[in-house]
Structure 1
Amino acid sequence: MSAGGQDSISGPGFADRWAARRAARARPVSGFALPPEPRSFGLQARGRQLVAGHFLFAGSLVEAPETSIWDLPLPDPAFEAALHGAAWLDDLAALGDGPARARAQEWSLDWAARFGRGKGPGWTPELTGRRLIRMVSHAGMVLAGAERARADAFFAALGAQTLFLVRRWRTATPGLARFEALTGLVCAALALAGMERHVGPAAQDLAEECRRAVDREGGIPTRNPEDLLEVFTLLVWTAEALGAAGRRVEPAHRAAIERIAPALRALRHADGGLARFHGGGRGVEGRLDQALAASGVRAKMHKGLAMGFARLSAGRASVIMDCAAPPAGPAARTAHASTLAFEMTSGRRPLIVSCGSGLHFGRDWHRAGRATPSHSTLCVAGYSSSRLGPAGAHGDELCDRPHSVWSESATEDAAFCLRAGHDGYVPTHGLTHLRELRLSVDGRHLAGTDTLGAMSGPDTRRFETILARSGYMGVDFSLHFHIHPDIEASLDLGGTAVSLALRSGEIWIFRTDPGQPIRLAPSVYLEKGRLKPRPARQIVLDAHLAEPARAISWTLTKAHDTSPAAIADDPLPRI
């Protein structure tokens, strides 16, 4: 589940603190009505880091061997929020050896002793739901061999958190955080003796949230694929828990699972990872396949766009393109100006990517990662297709989004075709961006054409005004193709092409129109769990527009197949 805690950095307000202390005064829970089963899981590598005393949370590293997680120096509020979200329990459980289990027990019981009676910064509905899911899920590991007094305090803390969510889940941030709060409430009410009366209302509230927050196509307002996976996983878990307890799964709950599953399959690349758009990453390895298998929803072709994304796939290749405007309102605070950007994967190797979310690397990286030049698409110099608002109360929201975004797909001449366009540059320049992608049926050749032009009389007049202001020098624009950092890129054929060598042994060649300048430039690859951005490279096609329209064509062609030694690099089987 989400480990960021960004929605809870401000800490609990007065209403949260009052509700937390009131919940802590209630009659304590004495034990489990139903023994909980571990459901959430993390990464063994992160578990080993924690055991070694390397605490990496929210982009900050604290090295403190043999130190309790609650005695660490706190570099910033995001780090502290991540501690209280308890994602570290998943990682320690994934490692599962003696030292990992000992730390999981000590840190969890210590949280109950220090904060379990309504104290501390972790009593927000977002963090409480996130933490309660893990504390209930891993309670068997936490309580194994624990002293009676410490176990009683832990149960009391579980009960207090459950009652807190009964009163405060509605104030959780809409979206993933609210689903976490409701999931924590349902799972805890099912597991804890004396809390059974809260199961029915919480299950109904969860179903109502499914009706409100999951649209007819299985999407959510943030358009973040990783958030969608996390919501899906939570819904599958709660359905399993309700079923195991002999409880009814509400129809709206089950229907949301059935809508989301095909959308997630469409958002998954050939390597099994999710498309990285609108603040989302690739997802925890294995979580998508596990959730899809547990859902019981049979694989079927998703028709049309999946949460605003179009997919082309053939052979070993997959292409996913953002074919909708970014989210609006509160959901836009982590959205990216990525309209018509695409990603491409060959086998298990990402090829063309987005830079990703810089949320965990500070405000500057967060804003930079959201801008159009950080995506594999066309960008008018000095402008993004959607603009970030100025610093202030709503400075994180995107404004001036495209008013019209359209797309269509077809199969033509032994290729899968996708055509799309957006008017994001019409207000500033009178210009529309059109993009056509054609993926051959064997997945070995991707051809693209990007057109920037004025498409109507008013647009032409607007463009001519901008052109006159420039002294008729033209409007500069560029095409960006960000390359995954594991790929070796080099200019080839006298600077008229770029060779892309994958670790699988594949070689892809990028070409463009004769006479069109082509260059390799620095880029970055932003991903959670790292201390700093990974250096990468990008292909850039620089151009300028002095006429009402200009088109640039380009191709990506596989010139060398996967080596026999890398045959395990074949795409993952579909679930």
Structure 2
Amino acid sequence: MRLWRTLQYLRLSQVAYRLWYRARLPWFCTSLASARLGDGSGAPIWAPPPPKTGDSGNGGLILSGRIRLVGIEGPAEGWADASMPLLWRFTLHYFEWLADLEALGGEGREPARTLVARWLARFERFDPVAWHPYPLSLRLVSWLAHARFLCEGASPDFVSAFHRSLHRQARHLNRVWERDVGGNHLIKNLKAAIACALCLPGHETGLDRALTELDRQLNRQILSDGCHYERSPSYHFQVLSDLEELCVLFSEAGKVVPGFLSDAVERMRPAAAFFLMAPGKLAQFNDGTVDGPERVEAVAPPALPRAGYWRLEAGSARLMVDCGPCCPDDLPAHAHADTLSFELYDGGVPLIANCGTYAYQDLDWRNRFRGTAFHSTLTVDDQDSAEVYGAFRLGRRPRHFAASVEKGRFRGEFDGWTRFGLIHRRSLELGASGLAGRDEVARAAPGPRHGLAIRFHLHPSVTAVAEGEGVRLSLPGRAVWRFKAQGLTVSLDDSVYSPRFHEMCPTRCLKVEAPLSGERMTLDWRFERIT
């Protein structure tokens, strides 16, 4: 039944494409399929912007035969090392770390060539991980961006093999766009396909097809409020960066930037500014990391109502709350059971946070971080408000949401607890004196007793000390807050916080508990600003 609760939301075309791709995997491994990729070896005529800024520290580590990716250090040639998480191996296959070697200047060029040559020797023929459409897309963009760095002064044999592989990989990509996944994965595929059509001689004919599909996807994936439909601040920025880099490439290639592309960028920028809680810090809802740009050249709106996010501000305090769908129905991969959770910053410093993402392939932690208890909201009987399971699946999920903001007060409700016959309503009012909150749980019909718990996960930089009936919260610097929940049981529990993949910090959590035995339970609580 749980699997059906996932499959019922998928489009038939997604399932058909996934079956087609799996059926084709044995064919892709054959000599005939490899031969059909051809032997073109023309040099790139343009280069896309590098997808990341180089880190000379990691570049120096690579010189020693090691590399640090997504928070884990491993062997620089560990492309097939089964002891490393799949996300780590994917990231190694991206070759975005070429920027780290280029940051070393001439010292990094020969080691970069050596690693590319060794990759070519092992993976020039199809491999299910190395040639998976997602790492394939990112690798193509990285190789195009760093082609001059790699080929300058290189042997003719290396240059020929490198260019030949670029052409072969570009041809393979055009037959394996991720139509089963869609979302940011398909945007990555299309970005790479467009880059190849602009940069590689002989691939120009693929440009119109890729642009047509990109236009269609942007119409589908960018909501009317400018938010990317996966509702992840982190992935919103990824998609926006991909589109901005395509605009730069069109300009550098002397071509007119397609109108739909520049329009999409302009629509997404205000939503990007909305998700910045402080310079360089993103709100953590759904999958992603805390890292963001220092600023966005756009004015943040007060809300993203189509996506289901609202922001409150008072003095130096900023709050963001989620009251929207977990994900697009047909793309649950990055969904968390986080409805009505919020994050609170004061003076650019985080006070209340969600716990983050941590890892995709570590199933001991994956769904704990996706679960409701790892978010700053209410749970019923310590269950999840949406059915997260597997690494990227979602079964039962809330369907109805209502939210409004009036005079600095947010009110929201959703139906994530209807299997218990319950509705959760939350109100948040942010003012000069602090944050006043109310959580109300009401029955639709008589039922058994339930245990309610509200968790407020503190950022690791916050020092929490029990003080009378409340808890004193000291932020870095001079800001001090106090938490109170008059008449309710308040405890200070251990928690964890993950700002980035494979990074986990111990922290504390304020927990308010109460039983629900009657028709309704109201829990009032308050964060008071002391200094």
| Band the TM-score falls in, shorter-chain normalisation | 0.7 to 0.9
Q: Which of 457, 461, 465 lines up with 2:447 in the alignment?
A: 465
Q: Which of 479, 488, 492 lines up with 2:463 in the alignment?
A: 488
- Give the deviation of 1:209 after TM superposition: 1.8
Equivalent residue, structure 1, for 2:324: 324
Equivalent residue, structure 2, for 1:4: none
Contact 1:42 1:91 in 2 (8 A): yes
Q: Note closer, same or farther for the CA distance 1:172–1:147 as it changes in structure 2 (3 Å cut).
A: farther
SS in 1 for 2:197: helix
TM-score (norm 1): 0.81
Post-superposition Cα deviations, 1:12-47, rounded to whole Å, max 9, x if no partner, equal: 823554699447742423212225543433555544
Post-superposition Cα deviations, 1:49-74, rounded to whole Å, max 9, x if no partner, equal: 44454434466543x5xx64558674
Q: Equivalents in 1 of 2:252, 2:169: separation in Å?
A: 23
Q: Equivalents in 2 of 1:100, 1:508: separation in Å?
A: 49
Equivalent residue, structure 2, for 1:383: 383
TM-score (norm 2): 0.88
Which amino acid is 2:519 matched to? P
Contact 2:271 2:301 in 1 (8 A): no
Contact 1:266 1:306 in 2 (8 A): no
Which amino acid is 1:88 matched to? W
Equivalent residue, structure 2, for 1:435: 426
Listed as ranges, the matches of 1:254-293 within 5 Å are 254-283=262-291, 285-286=292-293, 289=295, 292-293=296-297
Listed as ranges, the matches of 1:151-230 within 5 Å are 151-171=159-179, 173-230=181-238
SS in 2 for 1:331: coil
Equivalent residue, structure 2, for 1:569: none
Deviates more, 1:22-31 or 1:131-140: 22-31
Equivalent residue, structure 2, for 1:504: 477
Which amino acid is 2:453 matched to? S
Q: Which of 393, 397, 402 lines up with 1:406 in the alignment?
A: 402
Q: Equivalents in 1 of 2:484, 2:104: separation in Å?
A: 49
Which amino acid is 1:449 matched to? R
Q: Over aligned residue pairs, what C-alpha RMSD do you find? A: 2.9
How many residues matched?
Answer: 511
Contact 1:372 1:384 in 2 (8 A): yes
Alignment partner of 1:447 is 2:436: yes
Deviates more, 1:519-528 or 1:10-19: 10-19
Q: Which of 405, 412, 426 lines up with 1:420 in the alignment?
A: 412
Identical columns (%): 26
Equivalent residue, structure 1, for 2:308: 308
Q: Note closer, same or farther for the CA distance 1:553–1:128 as it changes in structure 2 (3 Å cut).
A: same
Q: Note closer, same or farther for the CA distance 1:452–1:169 as it changes in structure 2 (3 Å cut).
A: same
SS in 2 for 1:151: helix
Q: Equivalents in 2 of 1:209, 1:466: separation in Å?
A: 46
Equivalent residue, structure 1, for 2:9: none
SS in 2 for 1:201: helix
- Give the deviation of 1:214 after TM superposition: 2.0
Q: Which of 509, 517, 522 lines up with 1:551 in the alignment?
A: 522
Which amino acid is 1:543 matched to? A
SS in 1 for 2:406: strand
Alignment partner of 1:88 is 2:97: yes
Equivalent residue, structure 2, for 1:337: 337
Equivalent residue, structure 1, for 2:88: 79
Post-superposition Cα deviations, 1:96-124, rounded to whole Å, max 9, x if no partner, equal: 35554443332223323432344563112
Q: Note closer, same or farther for the CA distance 1:46–1:315 as it changes in structure 2 (3 Å cut).
A: farther
Deviates more, 1:258-267 or 1:362-371: 258-267
- Give the deviation of 1:253 after TM superposition: 2.2
- Give the deviation of 1:152 after TM superposition: 1.4
- Give the deviation of 1:450 after TM superposition: 1.2
Q: Equivalents in 2 of 1:49, 1:529: separation in Å?
A: 19
SS in 1 for 2:384: coil
Q: Which of 37, 50, 73 lines up with 1:38 in the alignment?
A: 50
Post-superposition Cα deviations, 1:263-321, rounded to whole Å, max 9, x if no partner, equal: 111122134422111112223x43x74xx45xxxx536355526221111233221111
SS in 2 for 1:209: helix
Post-superposition Cα deviations, 1:357-407, rounded to whole Å, max 9, x if no partner, equal: 133460120011111110000111232111235x6xxx8422332232110
- Give the deviation of 1:156 after TM superposition: 1.0
Q: Note closer, same or farther for the CA distance 1:206–1:486 as it changes in structure 2 (3 Å cut).
A: same
Q: Equivalents in 2 of 1:426, 1:282: separation in Å?
A: 32
Listed as ranges, the matches of 1:10-159 within 5 Å are 13-14=25-26, 16-17=28-29, 21-22=33-34, 25-41=37-53, 43-57=55-69, 61-62=73-74, 64=75, 68-70=77-79, 74-93=83-102, 95-119=103-127, 121-159=129-167
Which amino acid is 1:269 matched to? M
Q: Equivalents in 2 of 1:219, 1:71: separation in Å?
A: 36
Which amino acid is 1:370 matched to? R
SS in 2 for 1:538: strand
Q: Equivalents in 2 of 1:403, 1:236: separation in Å?
A: 33
SS in 2 for 1:269: strand
Structure 1 runs (4+) deviating above 6 angstroms are: none
Q: Note closer, same or farther for the CA distance 1:552–1:198 as it changes in structure 2 (3 Å cut).
A: same
- Give the deviation of 1:448 after TM superposition: 1.1
Q: Equivalents in 1 of 2:411, 2:31: separation in Å?
A: 53
- Give the deviation of 1:523 after TM superposition: 0.4
Q: Equivalents in 2 of 1:275, 1:449: separation in Å?
A: 22
Q: Note closer, same or farther for the CA distance 1:53–1:308 as it changes in structure 2 (3 Å cut).
A: farther
